[in-house]
Amino acid sequence: MVADKHAIKVAITDRDWFEAWLAVFAEHDIEVFKLLPDALLLPDAQGDGLSVIELNNQWLCKQGAWRISAVEQSWLAEYLTALGHPNVAHYSPASQFPETVTLSAQT
Q: What is the pLDDT of residues 74-101, one digit of tens each?
A: 999 999 999 999 999 999 998 888 888 9
Q: Record the pTM.
A: 0.77
What pLDDT is attached to residue 89?
96
Are 62 and 45 within 8 A, CB to CB?
yes
Residue 61 sits at the vertex; the CA angle it makes with 57 and 62, to the nearest 5 degrees, is: 160
